[in-house]
A and B are shown apart, each in its own frame.
Chain A
Amino acid sequence: MAEMVKLSVNGQEVEVEAGKNLIDAVGAVGIEIPHLCYHPALGADGNCRMCLVGIEDGRPPLVPACKTPAAEGMKVQLDAEHIKKIQHDVMELELINHPTDCPICDQAGECALQDYYQKYDGQESRMTVPQVQKSKKLDFGCGVIHDQERCILCARCVRFTRQITKTGELGIVNRTDDARVTTFPGRPLNNRYALNVVDLCPVGAMTSSDFRFKQRVWFLTRDKGICHGCSKGCNIFIDHHKEKYKDDIIYRYRPFVNEQVNGYFMCDEGRMTYKKENQDRLLVAKANNAESIISSAVDSLKNSISSSNKPVFLVSPNCSLEQMYAIKKLGEAKGATVSGFSDGYILEGDGDDFLIQDDKAANRAGLELLGVDTTKEAFESAMKEADLLVNFNNDLAKSYDAAALDELIGDCKFAMVATTQDALTEKAEIAIPAASYSEYSGSVINTDNILQMFNKAVVKNEPFDDIVNIVSRIGGDVNENSAAWAGMKASVPALKDVEPEQIPEQGLALNS
């Protein structure tokens, strides 16, 4: 527990964490100090002056809250007339040359300028001279589009490329009302985290070309989730929306703050994985190589498992812990070899020392924890004798090319429980569509052994079953996540004391 200090804001006594700056310290107890350039991940720059507050007794009359650490006995003034006037005047200054093209600005609805205008400004423009015009719709590379007119020169984006990615592509050139953010000629943004500047930018000066004009943000439902793009398991907002007469689809992922896992950011590649949740989904079931209704595909798989002598169950390293456990139990009951072979998910050397990991699977640590064998040798030797392969959403095409895959499967019966319609599901005699990770609740363990829980976000018009339910329909004992947890607590020592309902939002570091 951090050291606490008592100070007063507008005469009201509050207890806040010592050492933090005033914005964060009093923000934690629900008092907002308006700020534009300060961002907790980038530190204080002190350039916008929106955060000026008064401190009574023995100090300069005004201090920037972003650069002032909270101290015992401080008397912070936020609602004094002269402070209100400063906030009002800073806003007026910011808006002098602002194009206010909110109708065509993707930021509208989540824009600091709009919000602060409502709260602290609210007056008509007094400008009588023409506004300074700058460049709009500049392609900065990496899917980032910049609008120089909307920019308030807070330098968050510039500081991000200097401090976080250390690539330094962005800079501010010129002075006064001619100042603008730009890139060096012929040197656009070129790093794997570039789209974070879109989230960092408090206004609509940095927008994403992928999300551009797709949806107005106030229509979006923001649900929390875990990115399944790699084994880091970055915390995300799944921004989705169901338009009238259409299906619930995801429009974008945005990072959600989790100091223990991803901090404030996520990688661009992971951000784009939302597309896989919308597109190329397996929608129709298959039984005996022909399209069928889901229940007959399930029956057909159930019968195949019963009549098989040597079944092999292949688990995806992206499955949730609950799903892995359910599949493992079913395998034990039916005498099947359960494998988690998925070497193809690992891209050696692709990771970096920030967020991106080599392993492109979200829950390989879960496979290990549950004791599921992931070796190639064990999987291939089991396949030699197998007469049935049931693949639970493991993308084998990552590990084998087409010819090797044909050889591997041979004349063994091939069934898939899958989320994606691809060449592999094409090959399967039986295919059962399943819910993907934005559509079910579950838990995953990331590369740093942090157990994280996530909840169902997207609700499709015709939702598919979670793999846990499908496994129970084909004869498994585990029929829901709570049953899986009861079983896991009893059989896995590391999970013995874990209460799934009490896993903190920041995730639980498993000690092993």
Chain B
Amino acid sequence: MSIKVKTIVRYGRSWQERLYLIEVFKGMACTFRHFITNFLDNSKLYVRHYPEVKPEITPRWRGRHRLTTHEDGTIKCVACYMCQTNCPAQCIQIEAGERTDGRTEKVPLKFDIDLLECIYCGYCVEACPMDAIRMDTGIFSVTATNREEMKMTIDQLRSTPGAFSEEEYKKGGA
């Protein structure tokens, strides 16, 4: 099998091009042409109308975290601190306590994730032996008006539902 060679035409060697000025005006003309077309009719825009139009995201997307629950609503997390240990940003802070809902012995009383510090690496999800923490909420834009609001508490993490079906999520490689 012979190697296919494709010769690329090099631009920018002629004297008009080396003068720059002509090319600059050509570029400006192009920009203005697009501007005026889009100004008069924006239905053919190349970019997405964010935030009115949201992007399609895949189940593998690492969005904001949530803490998953069993069918009966009890939290899956057993406060083993694996996620906290594995988190390179050290933004997870857990406090453990005695469990009373009839499952095992240990439960998180406090589970804070500081999203200002989080780097959305997903190591916490990887580390969890219980599939108790996931980043499948589909929430990728997290905003707040002050620092404190960026700290997710156990209740917020628990009450956010997942954005995908179990099958879709599992297909994503989890």
Contact = CB atoms under 8 A, between A and B. Distances in A.
A170 B58 CA distance: 57
B93 A103 contact: no
Given A213-B79, A213-B106, A103 B129 contact: yes
A80 to B, nearest CB: 35
A103 B96 contact: no
A108 B85 CA distance: 13
- Range class of the B interface residue count: 10 to 19
Chain A contact residues: over half helix, strand or loop, or mixed? loop
B93 A244 contact: yes
A180 B164 CA distance: 46
Interface stretch (B34-42, B45-53, B67-75, B97-105): B97-105
A244 B90 CA distance: 8
B118 interface: no
A234 to B, nearest CB: 29
A465 to B, nearest CB: 31
Nearest to B117: A244
B85 A216 contact: yes
Interface string A198-221: 000000000000001110101100
A143 to B, nearest CB: 15
Interface residues of A, number: 15
Chain B contact residues: over half helix, strand or loop, or mixed? loop
A68 to B, nearest CB: 40
Contacts of B154: none
Contact of B130 (A103, A108, A216): A103
A103 B80 contact: yes
A290 interface: no
A104 B78 contact: yes
A101 interface: yes
B98 A104 contact: no
A213 B85 contact: no
A226 to B, nearest CB: 30
18 contacts: A101-B104, A103-B80, A103-B82, A104-B78, A104-B80, A104-B104, A104-B105, A104-B106, A212-B98, A213-B79, A213-B96, A213-B98, A214-B96, A216-B80, A216-B85, A218-B85, A244-B90, A244-B93
Given A136-B105, A216-B85, 4 more contacts: A213-B96, A218-B85, A243-B93, A244-B93
Sort A-B residue pairs by CB-CB distance and give the 3 closest, nearest first: A103-B80, A104-B106, A213-B96
